[in-house]
Amino acid sequence: MTDATSTRIRPVTKKPVDYWRWSGRVFLVLLLIFTAMPMAWMLITSLKTGFAAMQYPPQWWPASPTLENYARLLDPRNSIGQDFLRYFWNSLWVSTATTILAIIVAVPAAYAFSRFRFPGRTFLFFSVLLRNMFPAIVFLVPLFILMRLLGLVNTHGSLILTYLTFGLPLAIWLLKGFYDNIPIQLEQAARIDGATRFQAFLYIVMPLSTPGIIATAIYSFIGAWNEYIYAYTFLTKHDQMTLPVGIQRFFSENATDWPGLMAATFMMSVPVVVLFLVLQKYFVQALTEGAVKH
């Protein structure tokens, strides 16, 4: 029989507070607020009238919110709506074409750097990345001269080629890191079973590299969608402009249509945000798998 009085009762100790973890959480919350505030203010301003947008002190929430600015942008019957929709489709076409071409070029290039061993491989790989050591503005004049010689000024082809020049180095680097983590034994097993190298690449490597390809596509699309300097320099025809350049129409010499500008900017941001939110798990997976070598 066990004596109850002899049983030692351990005092209940409180778990110590992890101050580092709570500090990190507070920092992340503050960072989220700092990041989301511009988008929130942009949306709030787009719901105001022109008079309400100029009031001081500013209204944090409009007394009479309106969707008139969005209706005007999406109405093809007025000039502003026609121009906005034209700029939107121009941006969508340039960004989509850039993304598709970047994938077509980057996938075989990254696979070759990952699987094949040839003289000058390391030098060539780092030569591809050399462009990213310089700011994009450095290449503005040389690329403009090149596009003029090729007769591509005032065409979307000039932007597509330029965006490929800037997007391909990082796209190849991302995909190479991803291919390095796919075991080569899988391809060798397929080759033993009678598959050609291309069939092993198409049916084995490509499905496994889907997250990396999606991450590369996101990067290429966002870079082309948001670019301003080269679009402003290469495109002077009104019907060829993309959204980053076209929304300047809301600025005038005497006044600025702030609600209309905020509505156009918010609608320009929506496709990128939705694209990233839908595909973010593939983007994170590609970055983590490409950065850690097994």
Q: Tens of pLDDT along 10-44?
A: 655 666 666 788 888 889 999 988 888 888 888 88
**What's the mean pLDDT when you consider all of the chain?**
81
pLDDT band at 293 (very low <50, low <70, confident <90, very high): very low
Q: Judge whether 256 lies within some domain.
A: yes
* Angle, CA 125 vertex, CA 186 and CA 98 arms, to 5°: 85
Q: Judge whether 61 lies within some domain.
A: no
Domain at 221, CATH number: 1.10.3720.10
Cis ω before 38 (30° cut-off from 0): no
Q: Judge whether 37 lies within some domain.
A: no
Rounded average pLDDT over 44-49:
83
Q: Judge whether 87 lies within some domain.
A: yes
Q: Judge whether 133 lies within some domain.
A: yes
Q: Judge whether 46 lies within some domain.
A: no
> For tokens 């670019």, what's the residue?
227
Q: Judge whether 179 lies within some domain.
A: yes
Indicate the number of domains in the chain: 1
251 DSSP β-pair partners:
256
What's the predicted TM-score (pTM) here? 0.78
**In which domain, by residue range, is 213 found?**
82-291
Give yes or no for a contact between 214 and 283, defined as CB atoms under 8 angstroms apart. yes
Q: Judge whether 36 lies within some domain.
A: no
Cα(243)–Cα(264) distance, rounded to whole angstroms?
A: 9
* The most confident of 2-6, 44-48, 191-195, 224-228, by mean pLDDT: 224-228
